[in-house]
């Protein structure tokens, strides 16, 4: 029973490129959450998705960031035209339908050079 799978573990992008981060939730989990961890700032909520629906995107920057959780396949966090300030660890978590208990992935560490 694999946990939450995130890939890649490490991602290096040049300024202006696009970054795509993937998250496959635990089996049986239909709720996916993305968090960003910046040095000295702690974890910050970005977005909460269910299959084909964005439930709460109040933590997403207004521009360049988007997220989806399609009917088939992993959830994707997409960052267009990355800037140095986007360098951070991005964590995905999943939870079962109707319940709590968040399981986190190992994260994707994005470095923008």
Partner 1 sequence: SQELEQSPQSLIVQEGKNLTINCTSSKTLYGLYWYKQKYGEGLIFLMMLQKGGEEKSHEKITAKLDEKKQQSSLHITASQPSHAGIYLCGADAGNNRKLIWGLGTSLAVNP
Which spans of this chain sit near partner 1 (rule: CB under 8 A)? 6, 31, 33, 35, 40-45, 48, 55-56, 58-59, 91, 93, 95, 100-107, 109
Nearer to partner 1, 75 or 95 (CB): 95
Nearer to partner 1, 16 or 61 (CB): 61
Contact 45, 35 (CB under 8 A): yes
Total residues found in the chain within this entry: 113
46's CB contacts (< 8 A; 6+ apart) are 33, 34, 35, 36, 57, 59, 60, 65, 67, 77, 90
Q: Provide, rounded to whole angstroms, the least separation between the CB of residue 21 and partner 1.
A: 14
Cα 6 from chain centre: 8
Q: Provide, rounded to whole angstroms, the least separation between the CB of residue 97 and partner 1.
A: 12
Q: Provide, rounded to whole angstroms, the least separation between the CB of residue 16 and partner 1.
A: 27
Nearer to partner 1, 28 or 42 (CB): 42
Contact 60, 41 (CB under 8 A): no
């Amino acid at each position: 029973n694999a946990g939450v799978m995130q890939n890649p573990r490490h991602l290096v992008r040049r300024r202006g490129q696009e970054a795509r981060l993937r998250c496959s939730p635990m089996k049986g989990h239909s709720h996916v959450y993305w968090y960003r961890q910046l040095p000295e700032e702690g974890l910050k909520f970005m977005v909460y998705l269910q299959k084909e629906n964005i439930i709460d995107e109040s933590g997403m920057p207004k521009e360049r960031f988007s997220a989806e959780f399609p009917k088939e396949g992993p959830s994707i966090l997409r960052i267009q035209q990355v800037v140095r300030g986007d360098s951070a660890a991005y964590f995905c978590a999943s939870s079962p339908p109707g319940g709590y208990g968040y399981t986190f992935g190992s994260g994707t560490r994005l470095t923008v050079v």
